[in-house]
Amino acid sequence: MRANGFNHATWRVSDLERSLRFYTAILGMKLVHRGRTDAYLEWGHAWICLLERSGAWRAEGTDDSGVGCGLDHLAFSIAEADFPEAVHVLEQAGVSIVRGPLQRGGGWSVNFLDPDGIQLELFTGTLESRMKVWT
């Protein structure tokens, strides 16, 4: 398997507007797309997606829907030509695949768990290809 590097990170946030102010005004990220419950920010060669999950914060870090706020997943870039082999490697190793493989958001995607349950993704698309689909 040949991942090319970091692609994007997705955070679950409780207040999209507050998070946008932080990431754009303080950290200097560029807003590329703003939806009703999501925003895409350019950050150098990578990008960040913010997903708003309604509800008050709870001590254990979950909102009213029971979905935790914080890191949703980390994605790594992979060439489309290498994607099928990478999925095969994951399957052969008995890695828990939680979504995909499927074509989504301008590229091929497979989400899976590391040994500690951290969700990772291999994604063939780019921010530009994602925006063509989302906007």
Whether 121 sits among the annotated catalytic residues: the reply is yes
- The amino acid that residue 21 corresponds to is R
DSSP letter string over 45-75?
Answer: TEEEEEEE--S---TTSB-TTSPBPEEEEEE
Spatial separation of the C-alpha atoms in residues 120 and 132, rounded to whole Å: 23
90 token code pair? 């994951």
- Annotated catalytic residue, options 85, 91, 121, 128: 121
What does DSSP say about strands 46-52 and 107-113: parallel, antiparallel, or unpaired? unpaired
Enzyme catalytic residues: 121
